[in-house]
């Protein structure tokens, strides 16, 4: 005959086992729901959600391969910028010429203007060393600067051959220049990817949307035309927007001539850019690239940078200035750079911010923690109620002494 105490023990262990199984089932359900919420909360990359993703992936890979087939480059660039004055007449406002050297990990530029201004810089490993010279009646003013620059194609000089030749296309209206795959990745949305015939040429046109942001006061559409005849290098970009004054802005940048420098390796030779408002021409520029040499050995010291001995260096990385020798070694103590308030100090709404220190959270970022909390409360409530009922059921009842 089974003793009542043994029966209660078996029932108690059975209750514990049932509780553990129930909790495991609930945990599995919680993990599954959490995974679904995570997938829904993570923003989908523009490429993944693009129309015709296979064609987009193909053209980006083909373009990247063509661009990266250029291991080294050296050339001369002539840049002429014209602005339209009252009456529709165009006049030259900037003329610049220079030499350009490129490798997979460094860039060097030497540029000059007819008025005597000169610019020289070397970019390597996210650091830019630059010298600029402006003519003065008695002695030219030379400025030396050391800056952090993650993007190699953002500089004030106009003779960067990769920028002029759309190997690093612009992100309007910003001064940023991005390689094509990064520009597509930056876009809010890939609106379309399709093959078209433009001016008698078969091209693949990728249309991107960049929504209004703190950097751009209006949304911009940017078309990128990849040309299969030059191994999918970019033939043209067209950026359009409508501003708050209801003016239609249009910036069209086109490479009108390529050169096949090596079998199957092309490089832009001439390009133009037009900027209009409501169809009225505002500015144009042309860039001519000559003496192009690709994938040849560059001089061993071409990316070495020497400074004028005794010059004052403005180090924007550390926020100080100090005198240096030709190798960049400090000759004096560091002085903190003066911090001038913006012209519109006190009016934060009017101060554009080009970067944020905190990555913005996606709009649905609150869903996951709140859902997990609600599920946790439900699990605790359910298991607590269930445990209490089983405990009351299988707890032995005391026998009355009066039997």
Same domain, 16 and 110: no
Structure tokens at 124: 């390597």
pLDDT in tens, 264-318: 999 999 999 999 999 999 999 999 999 999 999 999 999 999 999 999 999 999 9
Same domain, 295 and 371: no
Same domain, 36 and 169: no
Instruction: Report yes or no on 380 lying in a domain.
Output: yes
Instruction: Report yes or no on 229 lying in a domain.
Output: yes
C-beta of residue 276 within 8 angstroms of C-beta of residue 253: no
Going from the C-alpha of 367 to that of each of 38, 41, 277, 332, 377, the distances in angstroms are 9, 8, 44, 56, 15
pLDDT in tens, 119-153: 999 999 999 999 999 998 888 899 999 999 888 88
Range of the domain at 167: 53-336
Same domain, 172 and 123: yes
Same domain, 198 and 73: yes
C-beta of residue 130 within 8 angstroms of C-beta of residue 119: yes
Same domain, 61 and 90: yes
Q: How many domains does the chain have?
A: 2
Q: Residue 240 is part of a domain; what is its CATH number?
A: 2.50.20.10
Whole-structure pTM value: 0.71
CB neighbours of 27 closer than 8 A, spacing ≥ 6?
A: none
Same domain, 39 and 59: no
Same domain, 139 and 281: yes
Instruction: Report yes or no on 304 lying in a domain.
Output: yes
Structure tokens at 278: 């409501």
Same domain, 256 and 376: no
Distance CA 47, CA 57 (A): 8
Give the position of tokens 């707890």: 395
pLDDT, averaged per 10 consecutive residues of the chain (403 residues), comes to: 59 67 66 55 50 93 96 96 77 91 95 94 94 91 93 78 93 84 93 94 95 82 97 96 91 96 96 93 95 96 94 95 94 84 39 32 44 55 57 50 42
Same domain, 133 and 260: yes
C-beta of residue 204 within 8 angstroms of C-beta of residue 228: yes
Instruction: Report yes or no on 343 lying in a domain.
Output: no
Instruction: Report yes or no on 127 lying in a domain.
Output: yes
């Amino acid at each position: 005959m089974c003793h009542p105490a043994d029966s209660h023990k078996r029932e108690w262990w059975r209750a514990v086992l049932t509780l553990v199984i129930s909790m495991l089932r609930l945990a599995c359900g919680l993990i599954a729901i959490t995974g679904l919420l995570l997938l829904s909360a993570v923003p989908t990359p523009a490429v993944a959600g693009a129309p015709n993703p296979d064609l987009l992936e193909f053209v980006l890979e083909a373009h990247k391969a063509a661009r990266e087939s250029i291991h080294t480059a050296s050339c001369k660039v002539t840049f002429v910028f014209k602005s339209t004055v009252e009456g529709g007449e165009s006049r030259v406002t900037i003329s610049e010429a220079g030499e350009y050297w490129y490798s997979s990990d460094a860039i060097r530029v030497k540029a000059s203007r007819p008025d005597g201004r000169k610019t020289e810089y070397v970019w390597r490993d996210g650091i830019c060393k630059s010298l600029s010279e402006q003519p003065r009646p008695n002695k030219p003013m030379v400025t030396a600067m050391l800056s952090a620059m993650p993007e190699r194609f953002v500089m004030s000089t106009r003779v960067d051959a990769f920028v002029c030749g759309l190997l690093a296309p612009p992100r309007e209206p910003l001064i940023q220049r991005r390689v094509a795959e990064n520009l597509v990745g930056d876009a809010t949305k890939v609106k379309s990817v399709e093959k078209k015939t433009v001016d008698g040429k078969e091209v693949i046109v990728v249309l991107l949307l960049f929504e209004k942001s703190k950097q751009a006061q209006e949304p911009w559409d940017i078309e990128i035309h990849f040309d299969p005849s030059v191994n999918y290098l970019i033939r043209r970009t067209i950026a359009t927007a409508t501003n708050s004054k209801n003016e239609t802005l249009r910036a069209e940048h086109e490479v009108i001539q390529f050169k096949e420098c090596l079998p199957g390796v092309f490089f832009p030779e001439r390009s133009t850019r037009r900027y209009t408002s409501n169809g009225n021409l505002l500015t144009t520029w042309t860039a001519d690239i000559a003496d192009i040499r690709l994938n040849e050995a560059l001089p061993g010291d071409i990316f070495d940078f020497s400074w004028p001995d005794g010059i004052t260096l403005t180090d924007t990385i550390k926020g100080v200035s100090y005198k240096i020798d030709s190798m960049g070694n400090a000759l004096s103590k560091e002085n903190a750079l003066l911090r001038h308030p913006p012209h519109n100090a006190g009016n934060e709404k009017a101060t554009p911010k080009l970067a944020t220190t905190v990555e913005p959270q996606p709009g649905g970022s609150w869903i996951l923690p709140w859902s997990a909390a609600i599920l946790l409360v439900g699990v605790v409530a359910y298991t607590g109620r269930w445990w209490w009922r089983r405990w009351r059921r299988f707890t032995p009842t005391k026998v009355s002494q009066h039997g």
